[in-house]
Amino acid sequence: MKLSRRTDKKVEAYQQELLKTHFAEVDNMYRKMRGWRHDYRNHIQVLKSYTDKGDLEAIAEYLNELETDLYTVDMVIKTGNSMTDAILNSKIALANDRHIRVDVDANIPVLLSVSAVDLCIIIGNLFDNAIEASVSLPEDRRVIRVYIDVKGSQLYISFLNFTASGKLTKVGGIFKSTRGTERGLGLGRIDSVVKRLGGYVSHNSEAGAFTTEVLLPLSVSEANS
């Protein structure tokens, strides 16, 4: 009983720290967006100044700099659900910083019975695990594939990433991690949340790849919308 309580406290502490990290990432992304919008008027004034001088070279150079800056804050993924957009885009930004290509096909109802916190736990953990597994690979193999859509009366979430090792092994029903206990805690937390929501989750390790599939029930109104 004492061991179980210690494990529960460890998982809870880990998850609280994970949530803080996820929301900090999202907040940082929106701060960048607000900052860029605030500077928009100044950018226009600079471009007008170059235009008055007829300095086309300076205009082109300034526009190239703005394009690069905007790329770092642009909402590249728009699923239809604002919280999911925030989580996905913040994680994609982290992946891009580590030279990881992310292929996303996501469509989510605006209203979900799944809470923002639960969605953050599921998607955030899946993304963090995929990023951690990818950074040890050569850049041409750093790929994460995400697919999210409505399947009948359920929300379907699929993550795939490549791994440096072969097929991963399970220890106590949990896939063993090469980077300590965090991966196991993350996957375990996903499993517990999905179970509480009455959903289904499957983790699969094949040679050189790791996949997770999640099914979450939607309410009748959401499924028919």
Q: Are residues 32 and 128 in the same domain?
A: no
How many other C-beta atoms are found inside a 10 Å radius of the C-beta of residue 163?
20
Over residues 63-99, the pLDDT tens digits come to 887 776 665 555 567 787 777 887 888 888 888 889 9
Cβ pair 214, 200 in contact under 8 A: yes
Question: What mean pLDDT is reported for the chain?
Answer: 76
Q: Are residues 42 and 99 in the same domain?
A: no
Q: Are residues 87 and 180 in the same domain?
A: yes
Please state the domain count of the chain. Answer: 2
Over residues 111-123, the pLDDT tens digits come to 777 887 788 889 9
In the predicted structure, residue 11 carries a pLDDT above the cut 80: no
Q: Are residues 192 and 97 in the same domain?
A: yes
83: CATH: 3.30.565.10
Q: Are residues 198 and 92 in the same domain?
A: yes
Spatial separation of the C-alpha atoms in residues 198 and 181, rounded to whole Å? 26
Q: Are residues 131 and 48 in the same domain?
A: no
Instruction: Provide the residue range defining the domain that includes 9.
Output: 1-74
In the predicted structure, residue 153 carries a pLDDT above the cut 50: yes
Over residues 127-146, the pLDDT tens digits come to 988 999 899 899 999 999 99
Over residues 154-203, the pLDDT tens digits come to 999 999 999 876 555 554 445 555 444 444 567 888 898 999 999 999 99
Q: What angle do CA 61, 65, 69 make, to 5 degrees?
A: 170
State residue 105's pLDDT score: 92
Q: Are residues 11 and 54 in the same domain?
A: yes
State residue 172's pLDDT score: 46
Most distant CA atoms of the chain, gap in Å: 77
203: tokens are 């983790």
State residue 216's pLDDT score: 94
How many other C-beta atoms are found inside a 10 Å radius of the C-beta of residue 220?
8
Q: Are residues 27 and 125 in the same domain?
A: no
CA proximity to 185, closest of 195, 176, 194, 198: 176
CA distances from 14 to 22, 57, 93, 179 (A): 12, 52, 23, 15
Q: Are residues 193 and 98 in the same domain?
A: yes
Q: Are residues 176 and 212 in the same domain?
A: yes
Q: How many residues does the chain have?
A: 225
State residue 68's pLDDT score: 67
Spatial separation of the C-alpha atoms in residues 127 and 95, rounded to whole Å? 9
Last residue of a domain, one of 74, 102, 125: 74
- Pick the range with the lowest mean pLDDT from 13-27, 47-61, 197-211: 13-27
Last residue of a domain, one of 16, 42, 74: 74
In the predicted structure, residue 45 carries a pLDDT above the cut 60: yes
Last residue of a domain, one of 39, 74, 109: 74
Over residues 47-72, the pLDDT tens digits come to 888 898 888 888 888 888 777 666 55
- Bridge partners, residue 74, by sequence: none
Reported as a pLDDT band with limits 50, 70 and 90, residue 37 is low
Spatial separation of the C-alpha atoms in residues 89 and 75, rounded to whole Å? 6
Reported as a pLDDT band with limits 50, 70 and 90, residue 23 is low
Q: Are residues 80 and 69 in the same domain?
A: no
Q: Are residues 134 and 65 in the same domain?
A: no
Strand duo 101-106 + 143-151: pairing: parallel
